[in-house]
Chains A and B, each alone.
Chain A
Amino acid sequence: MEHKIVLTGVTGAGKTTAIGAVSEIDPVNTDVRNTDESVAKQFTTVGLDYGEIRLDGGQRLRLYGTPGQARFEFMWRIVSQGALGLIILVDNSQDGPMEALETYLDGFADLIERTACVVGVGRGATHPEPGLDDYADRLAERGVLCPVVPVDVRERSDVLMLLDLLLTQLETKTGNIDESL
């Protein structure tokens, strides 16, 4: 049985690095075929970052890093199908990080509603604006209730924190929670 968690964010936000921090295989970029016939045919394949974690009984947790550009929204829907949850990586050093967050909140709205989401804000130490509170305000305005935390995806512990917060939401949401975390 296979399970997946989706990571999204702009190019350079650190999706590949984040996946590499926890994946048990070297992260790879793989072409995934577009099966959505409603979109332009020229997008027959799209590159996705990929990593995986092997679980008991031959199960696997697949980590998918989506292309960040909005023109690949059709692929976001495909990758979202059956996903456990979403991690959004925001890069404060790039232009328009708040607008980027809005794009992903729109593009992954169904997945966020159905499962859980964590927003990791990168490079906030060198680029403090927008602040974490600004992101939290925007999420509240959008009616999205999810953690917003600073992250350095080069640090494995930070990536684990994102996964931990995602799992914690899933566990409490479904009632499937361990007695001790």
Chain B
Amino acid sequence: MVFKSRNESSPASDLPVRRYHVVGVDARCESLFHSMMRLVANKAGSHWVHDAEAHDLLVEGAATDSSGPAAALRRSFASFTRGGGDDCAMLRLDGMLETLEDVERDLATSRSAPAAPVPTAADTAQAMKLTRWPNASLLAGQPVFPKLATLMLSRPMTIGELARRSGLDESVCADFVDSLREARLVEVQRSSVPAAAPERSGGSRGLFAMIRDRLGLGEVFS
């Protein structure tokens, strides 16, 4: 079962966002765990959201595959239940909160744990917009990079949109956006749906398409 907690409203407070994932428990227990996590999400020092791809905390049930995804920190599912074990009927909010607070202390002292994880470009649901034109070194990788950057100038774009519009692999777009993110040149719109630009009246789409067709612009970066 996949929970898209990252699409929920951002917390009103300025709590740093922490991400967690659960593996090695049955679907019922996972579902219950997510539900209870939502109840305590803002009660400790962070705002906790589920993210199966990148996370600070991996909660492992007994059936966990040892080759599970990497995380900054791991905790057993049992550490969240009263009396231990993987019986999710023993999950209690106060016990979960205590464990989360313990986790947050460890994360705070762990050099490997980012204080406020920045979403990675691999998260294709997040739309990103450029805040300034990148330095030339960031655009030198491929001839199409200036165009990718231009796509992100006027409105936030997801990795998927960039890939679809440029014809490049998502991995290429993700790497490019990651380099922009590391250079702090993008702002992230924390929503699965990028802001829709207002539709322009007067049939301009036809005009732009006509100009492109006439100039053969589709071939410039292909």
Contact = CB atoms under 8 A, between A and B. Distances in A.
Q: Are A and B interaction partners?
A: yes
Interface of A: 3, 22, 53-56, 59, 61, 116, 131-133, 136, 139-140, 145-149, 157, 160-161, 163-165, 167-181
A132 B132 CA distance: 13
By size class, the interface of chain B is 35 or more
Contacts of B220: 157, 160-161, 164
Contacts of A165: 146-147, 150
Contacts of A175: 196-200
Interface in B169-218: 196-200, 204-205, 207-212, 214-218
B211 A174 contact: no
A173 B146 CA distance: 17
Interface of B: 130-136, 146-147, 149-151, 153-155, 157, 164-167, 196-200, 204-205, 207-212, 214-218, 220-221
Main secondary structure on chain B at its contact with chain A?
A: helix
Q: Which has the most chain B C-beta neighbours within 10 Å: A116, A146, A167, A169? A: A167
Contacts, number: 123
B215 A163 contact: yes
A165 B154 CA distance: 12
A170 B136 CA distance: 23
B165 A180 contact: yes
A167 B165 CA distance: 13
A160 B155 contact: no
A136 B132 contact: yes
B135 A169 contact: no
A181 B150 CA distance: 12
